[in-house]
Amino acid sequence: MLYRHFFGFGMSVCLRYAYSREEALEILNDGFMKVFDNIKVFDDGRPFKSWFRKILVNTALDHYRANRTYRINVSLEDLKDETGDLSEDVSSLEAGIEINSELILRLFGRLPETYRLTFNMYEIEGYSHDEIAAMLGISPGTSRSNLSRAKKMLRLLYAQSQNKTRHEAV
Amino acid sequence: MKPFDEEFADKVRAVFDRHDAPFDPSAWDAMHERLKQGRRGRVIAMLYVASRVAASLLIISVLTWISYTYFFTLTPSVSDSGIAEEVIAGSDIRQRHESAAATDALSHLSAPEDSALPAATLRQVITDRETGEVLDDNVSVQVLIDRETGLVITDRGTGEVLDDNVSGQVLIDRETGLVITDRGTGEVITDKETGEILPHRETVEVLPHRETVEVLTHRETGEILPHRETGEVLTHRETVEVLTDRESGQELPLAAEAVSEGTPTKDTLHDADIQQGLLSHGEQRTLPDPRLAGDGPADISLPSHEKQREKPLSWGLAAGSMMTYAEQQLAGGLGFSAGVTSAYRVTNRVSIASGLLLAYQQFEVESTPLVTMSAGKEYARTDMASVRTTADHSYEMLALDIPLNLQIRLPGAGSGRWYVSTGLSSLLYLQQQLSGVETSYVETNYLDPARNTLVYNSFTSSVAVSSNSAPFSHFDFARLLNLSAGYAIRQEKTTTIIEPFVKLPLGSISSRKLKMGMGGVSLRFTFGH
């Protein structure tokens, strides 16, 4: 029951940290194993979801540490080469942003993992740069830089996706 | 208009807050398979823990052995012998030499405390959407607390903290755990999920609505500003929790349990937190407003807020063993110490640690030079050429070690943390006992007038000595310099710390004015982070 009830919530967290649904499932199941192993120490007076979310984030970070040497990331420069100068397009998109979970996951899937982690942890989970630095083993300055680059890359990727959509419509 | 990045982040947050992936039965199958293997996994986990304990013991043993073998040769501290000037008369020496040169031992344990957890450094800054001015916004969580038990009411099925912002009442079916809301009459209740009208199965306590009133003020002018979303006038930096009777609307007194320290209301950010380094300066950003997430208070919990609840003060238990050196000698025998430690987290990485440790050491030092004296050119008049006294002393000491250390955590990731610490130790002696034998080698000479030659005589004399000092008769304030480097391994609620250390003398210590130091390894368990 617990698994079924929190499956959706857990997946929404894990998908943000994984490159694929399979990887997200792996993180989720690892997280659930931790939950089942430690359910006795869970404080009933605290919200379960936040405890569960914290476990999932930490599990995702464990996955990141275990697999980071196998990742191939796209650099910002590569992305610029691929998309061209989209600064004007980006500014024109500020009028309204239409995104859904599929698009976000697609955009996240193209971010280098450290950028994606930093963006997630800072913007979604609410960690500070010092906390992120401690958890990822980087300096707070690097964390800030990663966040800035992640945002820039997301901007470019989003603009790229919008351009593609427009071309298809034409 | 908000910048693209900010709006994009808001959208991403909103999408994920709404996102709810459908249940995948194949995922559960995989999970079920893993659960089956759980028993075998537990055995492996136990073996893993056992191996860690064994490794810790091995490390301590090796470090202790290394300290025992090499330590004192690297850091000897030799004091000048206090020469007791004596006139040796006859062949018996019965003088007690209160010399400053001796060897002593004392057990110590340095006690820096690890705050272990990275301190929360979230600065929550919310800007006025219209003016752009920075405002203080106290994000609060509304929870219902059972007035009798003081517990937060949670959905028994989901574990979520429940609240009812509309009616102010939450009823929980005691049998099914489902949430049932009172529509106002108290008689007709419906299942929150299905809408089905349910009979009132038993007397379920209707709880008054607990409200959290937020107030915003302009940071500089102090002017009260309306809440951005609701337009309510809010007060500055205070979260006022009010229990109101739903029917009469009158305020009710808060139950004592409801405002206890353990109640998980994450509602305030105080200046004190900023001063303690919980909130870092210089970052300005807007956090998701939990009231807009639509996912209940369970989603509101932010890591930094959780850490905010962690007290900066932590305590622990410590035990260790060490060797003592003095007068270029390593004392025979191991000492040990045990006690309590505490630490106050100043910033993310810096803590001030102290403690109270009972240290005991019994050791022996052989052939310690006590007195060396030579007549030199005066031999013709004194008839004495030289006297040299050495001692074989046995010491037994019991003292309270009160360290005060500055502890700095080194950057790193994972569950382990390296840190270094330095500080000073003060010693309050409970027992100082000395026993042993002091031996004097005396050489005399005289001029034989018959043969007109210088005649030398030498002899040896020994005397047993013993002395006791009264408890609390001596206190050495900040006479030992503590240096240590430790490795902390964090578990669920405790942190295990392995810490090699040395204590270097800054002056003579103990009633016997010894200049001695210690080195060893301690093992600590701290509670709280």
Q: Which pLDDT tens digit goes with each residue over B342-369?
A: 998 888 788 899 999 999 887 777 777 7
Question: What pLDDT was estimated at residue B68?
Answer: 55
B287, pLDDT greater than 70:
no
Question: What pLDDT was estimated at residue B516?
Answer: 81
Going by pLDDT thresholds of 50, 70 and 90, the confidence category of residue B382 is low
B208, pLDDT greater than 70:
no
Question: What pLDDT was estimated at residue B481?
Answer: 92
Q: Which residue has the higher pLDDT, B307 or B521?
A: B521
Buried b or exposed e, range A7-36, using 16+ CB within 10 angstroms: bebbbbbbbbbbbeeebbbbbbbbbbbbbe
Residues B12, A102: contact at Cβ < 8 Å? Answer: no
Instruction: Look at A101 and B19 and tell me if their CB atoms are within 8 Å.
Output: yes
Question: What pLDDT was estimated at residue A116?
Answer: 84
Going by pLDDT thresholds of 50, 70 and 90, the confidence category of residue B155 is very low
Residue written as token pair 């007076």: A45
Residues B510, B476: contact at Cβ < 8 Å? Answer: yes
Question: What pLDDT was estimated at residue B260?
Answer: 35
- Each residue of B465-516: pLDDT tens digit? 888 888 888 899 998 999 999 888 877 778 888 999 998 888 888 887 777 8
Least confident stretch, B268-282, B374-388, B501-515: B268-282
Ranges A157-161, B177-181, B370-374, most confident: A157-161
Full 3-state SS string of B336-368: EEEEEEEEEECCCCEEEEEEEEEEEEEEEEEEE
Instruction: Look at A48 and B160 and tell me if their CB atoms are within 8 Å.
Output: yes
In Å, how far is B273's CA from the nearest CA of chain A? 15
How much is the mean pLDDT over chain B? 62
Closest residue, chain B, to A31 (C-alpha): B31
3-state secondary structure of A140: helix
Residue written as token pair 């600590």: B524
Going by pLDDT thresholds of 50, 70 and 90, the confidence category of residue B90 is very low
B284, pLDDT greater than 50:
no
Question: What pLDDT was estimated at residue A76?
Answer: 53
Going by pLDDT thresholds of 50, 70 and 90, the confidence category of residue B422 is very high
Instruction: Look at B301 and A134 and tell me if their CB atoms are within 8 Å.
Output: no
B147, pLDDT greater than 70:
no
B314, pLDDT greater than 80:
yes
pTM of structure: 0.36
Of the partner residues A8, A101, A130, the one whose CB lies closest to the CB of residue B15: A101
Q: Once rounded to an integer, what is the mean pLDDT over residues B194-199?
A: 54
B136, pLDDT greater than 50:
no
Q: Which residues of chain B does A99 touch, with a Cβ-Cβ cutoff of 8 Å?
A: 8, 11-12, 15
3-state secondary structure of A151: helix
Instruction: Look at B4 and A93 and tell me if their CB atoms are within 8 Å.
Output: yes
- Expressed in angstroms, the distance from the first to the final Cα of chain B is 42
Going by pLDDT thresholds of 50, 70 and 90, the confidence category of residue B399 is very high
Question: What pLDDT was estimated at residue B483?
Answer: 93
Q: Which residue has the higher pLDDT, A91 or B21?
A: B21
Q: Once rounded to an integer, what is the mean pLDDT over residues B53-77?
A: 60
What is the distance between the alpha carbons of residues B394 and B103, in angstroms, rounded to a whole number?
Answer: 9
In Å, how far is A108's CA from the nearest CA of chain B? 11
Question: What pLDDT was estimated at residue A108?
Answer: 79
Ranges B81-85, B328-332, B470-474, most confident: B470-474
The first and second tokens of residue A144, run together, are: 């800030």
In Å, how far is B172's CA from the nearest CA of chain A? 16
- Each residue of B428-458: pLDDT tens digit? 999 888 888 888 877 777 777 787 777 777 7
Can you name the residues that pair with B145 across neighbouring β-strands?
B152
Q: Which residues of chain A have pLDDT under 70?
A: 1, 68-99, 166-170
- Report the percentage of chain B scoring pLDDT > 90: 9
Residue written as token pair 């990331």: A73
B113, pLDDT greater than 90:
no
Q: Which residues of chain A does B1 touch, with a Cβ-Cβ cutoff of 8 Å?
A: 94
- Report long-range pairs for B173-179 (Cβ below 8 Å, ≥24 apart): B173/B198, B173/B201, B173/B204, B174/B201, B174/B202, B174/B204, B175/B201, B179/B155
What is the distance between the alpha carbons of residues B367 and B389, in angstroms, rounded to a whole number?
Answer: 9
Question: What pLDDT was estimated at residue B323?
Answer: 82
What is the distance between the alpha carbons of residues B503 and B514, in angstroms, rounded to a whole number?
Answer: 14
Question: What pLDDT was estimated at residue B270?
Answer: 36
Cite the beta strand spans of B141-227 per DSSP E: 171-172, 179-182, 189-191, 197-198, 209-213, 216-217, 224-225
Can you name the residues that pair with B350 across neighbouring β-strands?
B408
Question: What pLDDT was estimated at residue B322?
Answer: 85
Ranges A94-108, B94-108, B139-153, most confident: A94-108
Residues A40, A80: contact at Cβ < 8 Å? Answer: no
Q: Which residues of chain B does A32 touch, with a Cβ-Cβ cutoff of 8 Å?
A: 31
Question: What pLDDT was estimated at residue B222?
Answer: 59
Q: Which residue has the higher pLDDT, B159 or B349?
A: B349
In Å, how far is B315's CA from the nearest CA of chain A? 20
Question: Could you tell me if the ipTM is greater than 0.90?
Answer: no
Of the partner residues B13, B30, B299, the one whose CB lies closest to the CB of residue A123: B13
Question: What pLDDT was estimated at residue B19?
Answer: 72
B16, pLDDT greater than 60:
yes
In Å, how far is A82's CA from the nearest CA of chain B? 21
Give the angle A138-A140-A142 at the CA atoms, nearest 5°: 65
Question: What pLDDT was estimated at residue B244?
Answer: 53
